[in-house]
Amino acid sequence: MLSTEVKGEGSPQQVLKYTPKDFDSGETVRWCPGCGDFAILNAVRQAFAQMGIPREKFVIVSGIGCSSRFPYYMNVYGFHGIHGRAPAIATGIKVANPDLSVWVVTGDGDGLAIGGNHLMHAIRRNIGIKILLFDNRIYGLTKGQYSPTSVIGQETKSSPYGVIERPADPVLLALSQKATFIARAIDYDIKRLSQIIIEAGKHQGTALVHIYQDCPTFNDKAFEDFAGKEVMSEKTIEVKHGKPLIFGKNLDKGIVVKDGKPHIVKLGENGITEKDITVYDETDFYLNFIIANMHYPAFPEPIGIIRRVREPTFEELLYMQIEDVKKRKGVGNLEKLIYKNSWEVKGGDNSKKI
Amino acid sequence: MDDPFVGGDSREVEKVIAKFAGDSGDGIQVFGAQFTLSTAIYGNDFAILPEFPAEIRAPAGTTYGVSSFQIQFGGIDILTPGDSPDVLIAFNPAALKINLGNLKPGTLIIINENEFDEINFKKAEWKSILQGEENLDDILAKYKTIKVKMNDMVVEALKDLDISHKDKIRTRNFFALGLISWIFDRPLEPILDFIREKFSKKPILQEANERALKAGYNYGETIEVSYRIKKIKIKKYSFEPGRYRYISGNEAFALGIAALKEKISIPIVFSSYPITPASEILHYLAEMRNFGIIALQMEDEIAAVNSAIGASFAGALGITATSGPGLSLKSEGINLAVMTELPLIVIDNQRSGPSTGMPTKTEQTDLLFAMYGRHGESPLIVIAPISSGDCFKAIFDAARLAIKYMTPVIILADQYLATGAEPWKIPNLDEIAKIDGKYWTDTKNFLPYTRDENTLARPWVKVGTPGLEHRIGGLEKSNIYGKVSYDPQNHDFMVKIRAEKIRRAQNDIEDLEVYGPPDAELLVLGWGSTFGHLREAVITSIEKGYPVAHAHLRYINPLPKNISEVLKKFKRILVAELNLGQLLLLIRGMFTVDAVGLNKVTGTPFRIVDIKYAIERELINLDKEGKLSKHIKVETGKEEKGGELKYAVN
Ligand code: SF4
């Protein structure tokens, strides 16, 4: 049993005692054995149990795809929508009731192909929804076609001679829309993933969490080269606000940003010490952009919270504007509005407008 | 109308059709609105038809840049803007040129002579005049024409005012308004009020426009002498007592939503995307932030409908508005609301299609699309308001049914209703019944797909209620339990129960009423916006003694309970609609009755003559076939023909 006092979005500060089990809907989970979605499901249940938000305030909205079955497995309010439209559905929910903690579960096909437009606009508006984008670089539910994040040369059922399209980068897409919260995580890295989910849950505004998710059935070990257990500490870098960009099993490597470009350096070599390493600032858009542009194999793959800033959310501005206009114009008077330019007809005769 | 304009004394007539046409940049719509308001205040009933060019800034003086405004007004129940005008004001050659084809001999035409010069004939591409094959006077010989040098007149009237020549010329609309106000004996006060308000910050322009208006009015006295034109008195209409305003369909939708917000116990979320001719609804509602109205402009039509569905899932009432192309994009979303059985209102202001079609023109071509334009068996409620003012009530009807039956409702209006306007008796807001957005609250016995015994609706839960956490979505669900289900029997059952649920809404809709003599043998059946035209044509046919009646559908799905009984009473049903026979297909498919179609798709409303002609033709046919109970003498409407419509039997 966990007891937390985290102030969740829109919820009164309170002590709630939940275990991950409390978020299990009891539904049989139907992903393939070994699917990365299981780990993410565990991480989400753990995170939700710790967030101090009453269970009934959570809503999970999804689109179509393997990941989009997610809501059925969580004992909260859930809406399994249609392909690509989850951010739009979630926007309606959040606007109707800003007090709810609204989550979108989507995939690389659902979120970046058919639903790319909605994803972009949700981020641009900074509406208070949390988007978990499960990226397995493949279409799983339709049995193995290439997706917008598939890499060049990837052989799939619909690209038997190799993909010739350049992959989409969801983190850069989010940055281009000045997202107020962007993070990246790896499916089986449950501890860090659930921590990121908690942070996303606390964030006011749109949060995008890009999760590398293994699909053993159609794109096995796609991330093994940098996310495999053996290599993760060497081939990824966890960015932390206010901390130097250091990585490696022995914490012996770092990133120095110079002339607008990242450079890998070795601590102790050429007189480099920790002081020379760039300190990460999650609010610095230019630094966020430079780090988000780093990808394996040229660089360690960045994970962690890449960007976080507090800006007014869409729902805050909407409800503020309503109050503001009420103050400026006076609370709307329906009769006055309907009766504008009206005239009175008295028994048979037509007299003047009043 | 038989020549009321000329002669000794001023005459009193029942109704007049006037049309104002000019360059779209010339403020024709403002002109029309002002004339309409003074007509309303004078005490006539009326109906209007504004027509806009498709281009936002079409080149001045061209035929495709002409904007026009037609109004029929009078002392009787005016049901339509009328066919061909009795009076036409043409502000330039292009405006005259495009209207000539639709004028009766003897029409009173007023032209601004200053604009009828070579440059403007060129812009209007009036070849026969430019090449000297005919001249303007020959063309106008069949009509009564008043040529007024409006530009010169206003410049003269304003010569001592210190404003630019251009600003002086601009006042000519008010000059024309003054003149037409004199001809029809309209009061100037409402127009003066408007001028004072509009130019309150620029007293000199206020003065200029006031003077122009009065100069136009006074000019009327001189035409009385020189053209022997008489002031026309038009009988006042005896409206039912009450408070009235002038309202367009889009205003009625927006005001309906605003009024609904006051009458409903739950939040409303209006979510839309700009599209002609529905954007105005969004504009009006966006303006009403101080009413606490949530009006969202989403990134596309798809997002608009899906955010409305999200709002409904959360426990608000989601509403969206669009036109044909947008309805195409919303299909998938509407289906999601059918499957999840959530309330949703979709307003479709139909316009000419397919594809982009003619965005500013009207049509009733989305009927089958609203009914069946979704994959799978996807029943929902379809309401078709019958007048601009009726759009207000349609919102309330839609909200009540959407919530009671947990279903999407499509409101099928069209461009004609949306932008046309009529005098509307404002309902007493206190008398409108409150709508209860009842949520399910019992945590012990909750299953998401249990059904109400009477309505078959499933429970609606406000998201955020402890103990009622549940999951729904687009996958087929087991009845009662709401679990994902691929069970063949369950699917068969659910498909049928969704259809039955909509059928049960029959219990909440009005019976189909028949207007006409008890011995009528031909029934004119219409739906939606054509009400006024069909009713007017049937009234005149009945006056001629023809055994004809009119019934009008306001609900397409479900159809009224008594429809079969009504249809069976007639020898033949003439289904009149602005499409190629969509309601006709339904009627023939559902009832064994003798039904034929009257169809037109010109992008404009029916003309009364077209309908009268079709009624006469059909009566002659019935008579020839020996189906009438007594032989009747039908005069064909040949002398009134000349329309674009070819009567078609489907
Ligand atoms: S296809 Fe891939 S993503 Fe889908 S459930 Fe199976 S392993 Fe998971």
pLDDT digits (tens, 9 = 90+) for B44-63: 889 888 888 777 777 888 99
Closest alpha carbon to A112 in A65, A156, A44: A65
How many angstroms away from the CA of A85 is the closest CA of chain B?
7
Please check the confidence at residue A345 and state whether its pLDDT lies above 90. Answer: no
Answer whether A35 contacts ligand 1 (Cβ < 6 A). Answer: yes
Q: N- to C-terminal Cα distance for chain B?
A: 34
Please check the confidence at residue A277 and state whether its pLDDT lies above 90. Answer: yes
Closest alpha carbon to B264 in B201, B206, B317: B317
- Among the listed ranges A307-316, B102-111, B425-434, B641-650, which one has the minimum average pLDDT value? B641-650
Answer whether A145 contacts ligand 1 (Cβ < 6 A). Answer: no
B375 backbone dihedrals φ, ψ, rounded to 5°: -75, 155
How many angstroms away from the CA of A289 is the closest CA of chain B?
26
Whether B463 sits inside 8 A of A337 (CB atoms) is no
CA-based radius of gyration for chain A = 24
**Four-point Cα dihedral B550, B551, B554, B560, nearest 10:** 180
Answer whether A29 contacts ligand 1 (Cβ < 6 A). Answer: no
Which DSSP letter does residue A339 get? Answer: H
**From the alpha carbon of A31, which atom of ligand 1 is closest?**
5
| Portion of chain B with pLDDT greater than 90, in percent | 79
Answer whether A37 contacts ligand 1 (Cβ < 6 A). Answer: yes
* Closest Cβ opposite residue B314 in set A56, A85, A96: A96
Kindly state the helix (H) or strand (E) to which residue B364 belongs, with its residue range. Answer: none
Q: Give the tens place of pLDDT for each residue, B505-524.
A: 999 999 999 999 999 999 99
Q: Give the tens place of pLDDT for each residue, B53-89.
A: 777 777 888 998 899 999 999 988 899 999 999 999 9
Question: Does A79 lie at the interface with B, CB-CB under 8 angstroms?
Answer: yes
pLDDT at B25: 77
Residue A351 — very low, low, confident or very high, per pLDDT cuts 50/70/90? very low
Average pLDDT score over residue span B24-40: 86
pLDDT at B237: 84
* Closest Cβ opposite residue A97 in set B246, B298, B315: B315
Which token pair is A210? Answer: 């890009």
Domain range summary for chain A, segments of one domain joined by +: 16-222+312-316
Whether A93 sits inside 8 A of B311 (CB atoms) is yes
Mutate to test the interface with A, among B262, B285, B299, B374 (most CBs of A within 10 A): B299
Q: Give the tens place of pLDDT for each residue, A262-275.
A: 999 999 999 999 99
Contacts of A88 in chain B (CB under 8 A): 298-299, 302-304, 306-307, 310
Secondary structure of B59-115 as H, E, C letters: CCCCHHHEEEEEEEEECCCCCCCCCCCCEEEECCHHHHHHHHHHCCCCCEEEEEHHH
pLDDT at B639: 43
pLDDT at B646: 38
**What is residue B11's three-state secondary structure?**
strand
- Residue of chain A with shortest Cα separation from B34: A341
Ligand 1 atom 6: residue of nearest CA = A32
pLDDT at B636: 65
Residue B637 — very low, low, confident or very high, per pLDDT cuts 50/70/90? low
Q: Give the tens place of pLDDT for each residue, B125-184.
A: 999 999 999 999 999 999 999 999 999 999 999 999 999 999 999 999 999 999 999 998
Please check the confidence at residue A63 and state whether its pLDDT lies above 60. Answer: yes
pLDDT at A12: 47
* Closest Cβ opposite residue B309 in set A89, A321, A350: A89
Residue A212 — very low, low, confident or very high, per pLDDT cuts 50/70/90? very high
Residue A5 — very low, low, confident or very high, per pLDDT cuts 50/70/90? very low
CA distance to A354, B53, B163, B318, per residue, from B334 (Å): 44, 32, 56, 11
| β-bridge mates for residue A77, sequence order | A59
Calculate how far, in angstroms, residue A123's C-alpha sits from the geometric centre of ligand 1.
27
- Residue of chain A with shortest Cα separation from B242: A345
Calculate how far, in angstroms, residue B314's C-alpha sits from the geometric centre of ligand 1.
30
Average pLDDT score over residue span A92-101: 98
Calculate how far, in angstroms, residue A214's C-alpha sits from the geometric centre of ligand 1.
8
Answer whether A31 contacts ligand 1 (Cβ < 6 A). Answer: yes
Mutate to test the interface with A, among B34, B185, B186, B290 (most CBs of A within 10 A): B290
Structural domains of chain B, with CATH? 10-229 (3.40.920.10), 244-431 (3.40.50.970), 514-649 (3.40.50.920)
Mutate to test the interface with B, among A55, A62, A68, A91 (most CBs of B within 10 A): A91
Calculate how far, in angstroms, residue A306's C-alpha sits from the geometric centre of ligand 1.
27
Q: What angle do CA B382, B387, B389 make, to 5 degrees?
A: 105
Please check the confidence at residue B624 and state whether its pLDDT lies above 70. Answer: yes
pLDDT at B26: 80
The sheet carrying B317-322 orders its strands as B294-297, B268-272, B317-322, B344-350, B408-414, B381-383, B555-557
* Closest Cβ opposite residue A95 in set B246, B296, B309: B296
CA distance to A45, A99, B320, per residue, from A18 (Å): 10, 20, 39
Residue A209 — very low, low, confident or very high, per pLDDT cuts 50/70/90? very high
Calculate how far, in angstroms, residue A35's C-alpha sits from the geometric centre of ligand 1.
5
Calculate how far, in angstroms, residue A144's C-alpha sits from the geometric centre of ligand 1.
9
Please check the confidence at residue B227 and state whether its pLDDT lies above 80. Answer: no
| β-bridge mates for residue A156, sequence order | A159
- Distance between CA atoms of B458 and B341, rounded to whole angstroms? 7
CA distance to A122, A177, A295, A310, B607, per residue, from A127 (Å): 6, 12, 28, 12, 50
> Counting every residue, how long is chain B?
650
Query: CB of B67 within 8 A of CB of B23?
Result: yes
Query: CB of B305 within 8 A of CB of B320?
Result: yes
B385 backbone dihedrals φ, ψ, rounded to 5°: -60, 145
Closest alpha carbon to B44 in B69, B14, B11, B3: B14
Whether A96 sits inside 8 A of B311 (CB atoms) is yes
- Longest alpha-carbon distance in chain A: 101
- Distance between CA atoms of B206 and A313, rounded to whole angstroms? 45
Question: Does A322 lie at the interface with B, CB-CB under 8 angstroms?
Answer: yes
Average pLDDT score over residue span A285-308: 98
Best mutation site among A31, A68, A106, A141 for ligand 1 pocket (most ligand atoms within 8 Å of CB): A31
Answer whether A318 contacts ligand 1 (Cβ < 6 A). Answer: no
Strand-strand pairing, B548-553 and B514-515: antiparallel
Residue B5 — very low, low, confident or very high, per pLDDT cuts 50/70/90? low
- Distance between CA atoms of B363 and A133, rounded to whole angstroms? 43
Calculate how far, in angstroms, residue A191's C-alpha sits from the geometric centre of ligand 1.
22
Whether B243 sits inside 8 A of A332 (CB atoms) is no
Please check the confidence at residue B642 and state whether its pLDDT lies above 80. Answer: no
Q: What angle do CA A181, A184, A189 make, to 5 degrees?
A: 135
pLDDT at A14: 53
* Closest Cβ opposite residue A335 in set B311, B316, B429: B429
Q: Give the tens place of pLDDT for each residue, B437-481.
A: 889 999 999 999 999 999 999 999 999 999 999 999 999 999 999
Comparison of pLDDT for A354 and A172, the residue scoring more = A172
Contacts of A90 in chain B (CB under 8 A): 310
Residue B650 — very low, low, confident or very high, per pLDDT cuts 50/70/90? very low
pLDDT at B4: 54
CA-based radius of gyration for chain B = 27
Residue B9 — very low, low, confident or very high, per pLDDT cuts 50/70/90? low
Closest alpha carbon to A182 in A164, A199, A157: A199
Answer whether A217 contacts ligand 1 (Cβ < 6 A). Answer: yes
- Distance between CA atoms of B319 and A343, rounded to whole angstroms? 31
Calculate how far, in angstroms, residue A33's C-alpha sits from the geometric centre of ligand 1.
8
Ligand 1 atom 2: residue of nearest CA = A215
Average pLDDT score over residue span A20-40: 96
Whether A71 sits inside 8 A of B259 (CB atoms) is no
Whether A91 sits inside 8 A of B474 (CB atoms) is no
Beta strands in B113-153 (DSSP E): 144-148
Whether A93 sits inside 8 A of B313 (CB atoms) is yes
Answer whether A70 contacts ligand 1 (Cβ < 6 A). Answer: no
pLDDT at B647: 38
- Residue of chain A with shortest Cα separation from B331: A82
Query: CB of A107 within 8 A of CB of A149?
Result: no
Calculate how far, in angstroms, residue A47's C-alpha sits from the geometric centre of ligand 1.
23
Residue B6 — very low, low, confident or very high, per pLDDT cuts 50/70/90? low
Q: Give the tens place of pLDDT for each residue, B577-609.
A: 999 999 999 999 999 999 999 999 999 999 999
Burial class (CB in 10 A: 0-12, 13-18, 19+), B136: middle
Contacts of A353 in chain B (CB under 8 A): 41, 190
Which token pair is A50? Answer: 């710790």
Please check the confidence at residue A8 and state whether its pLDDT lies above 60. Answer: no
Whether B464 sits inside 8 A of A352 (CB atoms) is no
Neighbours of A14 (CB within 10 A): 12
Please check the confidence at residue A10 and state whether its pLDDT lies above 90. Answer: no
Answer whether A193 contacts ligand 1 (Cβ < 6 A). Answer: no
Question: Does A5 lie at the interface with B, CB-CB under 8 angstroms?
Answer: no
**Four-point Cα dihedral B131, B132, B137, B143, nearest 10:** -50
| Portion of chain B with pLDDT greater than 70, in percent | 95
What is the predicted ipTM? 0.94
Answer whether A140 contacts ligand 1 (Cβ < 6 A). Answer: yes
**A16-222+312-316: which CATH architecture?**
3-Layer(aba) Sandwich (3.40)
Calculate how far, in angstroms, residue A190's C-alpha sits from the geometric centre of ligand 1.
18
- Distance between CA atoms of A171 and A184, rounded to whole angstroms? 8
* Closest Cβ opposite residue A92 in set B37, B307, B473: B307
Comparison of pLDDT for B57 and B398, the residue scoring more = B398
Query: CB of B296 within 8 A of CB of B270?
Result: yes
CA distance to B23, B126, B528, B533, per residue, from B51 (Å): 12, 22, 20, 18
- Residue of chain A with shortest Cα separation from B307: A92
Burial class (CB in 10 A: 0-12, 13-18, 19+), B132: exposed
- Distance between CA atoms of A163 and B634, rounded to whole angstroms? 74
Q: How many helices (H) and strands (E) does chain A have?
A: 11, 15
pLDDT at A66: 96
The pTM (predicted TM-score) of the whole model is 0.91
